Chain A
Amino acid sequence: MSNAETAKVVTTRVVTTESGRMGRVAYARIAPNEDLVQGVEKMCLAEGFRNAFVRGGLGSLVDASLGCRDGSYQQISGPAVEVVSIAGEVRSGADGVPVASLAGIVADTDGNVYGGPFLAGWNPVCMTFEVTLEEWIPEDEASA
């Protein structure tokens, strides 16, 4: 490799670990027809959380839309589709906008289960959704 070629090599440092601590704990009830994913994001805006982990969540959706690897999505018809397990986190970028990544298992009106990532904007709450978030404070933000 010539010196000129060497100069083009860009080293990208991939961050795989992030130290930090847990902060505040918030609980919200998200009302009907609000989107689950955006509801969690709005909850972070309301509570001033930049980053958070989902500590618990349960409720129902009108219909559920779960993303697939090829860009298609699986639609589970309700009402109601019950969310029977959920995990996820919220992260904010430099613009301060919280982005929730949520995945889980849902059950249809016969109790049949389906799983995958919840697509933002396409998972309207049916009756109620209860969610508990625990704030995550990365070390570099805590010391800033």
Chain B
Amino acid sequence: MSRTLQSGYHRPRMLRHVGRFSPVRIQSMHYQSGRHIRLLLQPGRSLYDALVEPLRDIGVTSASTTILGGYFEHLEYCVAPPDPTGNAVIAYSRPIDAGASFMVFGNATLGKDMEGRPLVHCHASVRVADGGVKGGHIVPQASIIGATPISVLVTALEGFELRQAFDDETNIPLLKPFKES
């Protein structure tokens, strides 16, 4: 839902999360330079495999990527409404089947999950099968690249790595930067 408001003060809404407030509000790390890679997502592969495998082959396991747009044979995405269980303030919905789609623009972060496996966190805007434009959290394992390769600009993160870790405040696992293990 959206509404247009005249300029003027309104108090931005905060939320009380389930867990204990963390005093660290911005967790950041840097490296002296970036390594850039042009990646082509291959037809017929899942978004997950098409991102993870070629990058793993060249030693990249943490990265920030920009997906420059392209056709998907099939795409699924989730939205993030309030969590009815109260476990966290929001929870991803069940996957929504967008059918054959065009990803207009996407960002995906590559890191490691809590078991050390590759993790892809992707948000994108998508023209779905019925012609409408939608946006949300893309399900990378269930989204299949279409007939034409899709270009991706990869900024590989070196000197530190991204790992999923349980976040006490939000009560869910989240990607955060850590010194390389």
Does A103 interact with chain B (Cβ within 8 Å)? no
> How far, in whole Å, are A74 and B79 apart by their CA atoms in the complex?
20
Could you say which of A24, A60, A80 has the most chain B C-beta atoms within 10 Å of its C-beta? A80
Question: Taking CB as reference atom, which chain B residue is nearest A76?
Answer: B2
A55 at the interface (CB under 8 A from B): yes
Closest to A42 in B: B26
Find residues 11-57 in chain A having any chain B CB closer than 8 Å to their own CB.
22-35, 39, 42-43, 46-47, 55-57
In the complex formed, the residue of A with least CB distance to B82 is A79
CB proximity to B under 8 Å, residues A113-129 = 113-114, 121-124, 126-128
Q: Is the CB of B177 within 8 A of A105?
A: no
B167 interface hit (Cβ, 8 Å): yes
Contact A121:B107 (CB < 8 A) given known A47-B28, A85-B124 = no
Contacts from B to A (Cβ < 8 Å): 1-7, 10, 12-15, 17, 22, 24-34, 64-66, 77, 79-82, 88-90, 96, 104-109, 121-125, 133-137, 155, 157, 160, 162, 167, 169-170, 172, 174-177
Taking Cβ atoms with an 8 Å cutoff, the residues of A that contact B are: 22-35, 39, 42-43, 46-47, 55-60, 62-63, 65, 68, 71-80, 82-86, 105-114, 121-124, 126-128, 130, 132, 134
10 more A-B residue pairs beyond the given contacts A25-B30, A56-B65, A85-B105, with a C-beta to C-beta distance below 8 A: A25-B31, A28-B28, A43-B28, A46-B26, A75-B2, A85-B104, A85-B124, A85-B135, A127-B80, A127-B90
